[in-house]
Amino acid sequence: MNLSIYSYESPSVFIKDAWESKRKVNKNFSLRSWAEKLGISSHGTFYQIIKGKRPLPKRYVQPISKSLNLSAKESLYLETLIDFSKAKTIEHKEYYSKRLKEIMPSTKRLSFYEIESYNVLKDPINGALIELTTLQNFKFDLKWIKKRLCFDITENELRSKLSRLLDLGLLQYSEKELKKTQEHIYTKQDVKNEALQEYHRNILKMGIDQISKQDVNKREYNATAFGIKHKDISSLKEDIRNFIKETITKYESEDGASEEIYQLGIQFFGLTNKENTNED
């Protein structure tokens, strides 16, 4: 088998490709027969694992490794890959991602897209870098970019962030120009997301930092408290989203015509706890 376990970020995809590789050598090699050899009682369960609909139990690492002639180090990689796929928090995923990179040969390089995407999404500076390419006088020069941004950031940090954005395909370099590949990055609405939570925390920190630095004629801070009915919360949230879309549509400059990059943020959150109306 010519497959390299170190080229995979998903255990189910690796197992699927391994099975297909075995099938090329022996067309009669069925999923049922392989499941039996591995000690998996139901080939239907194994099919669900290969489809990524069920996690691969770690107790099958040893028989799979023996069946695929994996070395001890390759077997350890597969076991850690299972831990990575089962991790529920980004901290745990980052931990297992680090372990995987330590196990794999130095000649291999995987991005672990989920981790990289999290790190990009949580940092507002990445969004600023993407939009910076739309400026009419943009220069793909670290010193120019550093000077143009109002953040305290080193050239090495800029280089690392730009490299990550290029790797993820959010920026592309062609004809000696750096350009963004998407109009805007959108995420699922009303879904708990650790990266988004961190992003909004960082945006608020930026707002605090810039409130006393920027001329009042060049920025707008506005906040108020008001009463609302529970039934109106959903429609109000929708109005806020529509306002943002309409604002972007009306005022966003064409690529290459922008003169400055601005951040628009709106916070709408409760100031009171819901009253318990149940009688004692």
Which string of DSSP letters, residue by residue, matches 231-260?
A: GGHHHHHHHHHHHHHHHHHHHPPPTTTBS-
**Residue that terminates a domain, selected from 68, 85, 108:** 108
| Whether residue 94 is found in the same domain as residue 189 | no
- CA pair distance 11, 81, nearest whole angstrom: 6
87 and 208 in a single domain? The answer is: no
> Hey, CA dihedral for 82, 88, 90, 92, is it positive or negative?
negative
**Is 12:56 a contact under the CB 8 Å cutoff?**
yes
Whether the model pTM is above 0.75: no
- Are residues 91 and 125 part of one domain? no
Contact 171, 180 (CB under 8 A): yes
Tokens of 232: 């109106």
Kindly tell me if the per-residue pLDDT of 112 is higher than 50: yes
Q: Are residues 61 and 120 in the same domain?
A: no
Q: What's the rounded mean pLDDT across residues 54-58?
A: 88
Cα–Cα distance between 109 and 93 in angstroms, integer?
17
Q: Any bridge partners for residue 258, and if so which?
A: 135
Q: Is 202 helix (H, G, I), strand (E, B) or coil?
A: helix
Q: First-to-last CA distance in the chain?
A: 69
Reported as a single tens digit per residue, the pLDDT across 191-227 is 566 777 888 888 899 899 999 999 999 999 999 999 9
Residue 222 lies in a domain: no
Mean pLDDT of the chain: 85
Count of structural domains, the chain: 2
Predicted pLDDT of residue 168: 78
44 confidence band (pLDDT: 50, 70, 90): confident
Structure tokens at 160: 């690392």
100 assigned to some structural domain: yes
- Residue 280 banded pLDDT, cuts 50, 70, 90: very low
Distances (CA, A) of 73 to 12, 15, 92, 104: 19, 17, 21, 8
Residues 256, 117 share a domain: yes
**pLDDT (0 to 100) of residue 202:** 87
State the pLDDT at residue 107. Answer: 62
Domain limit, last residue, from 108, 139, 158 = 108
At residue 153, what is the residue type? I
pLDDT at 95 over 60: yes
Report the DSSP beta bridge partners of residue 135.
Answer: 258
Give the structural domain span for 74: 5-108
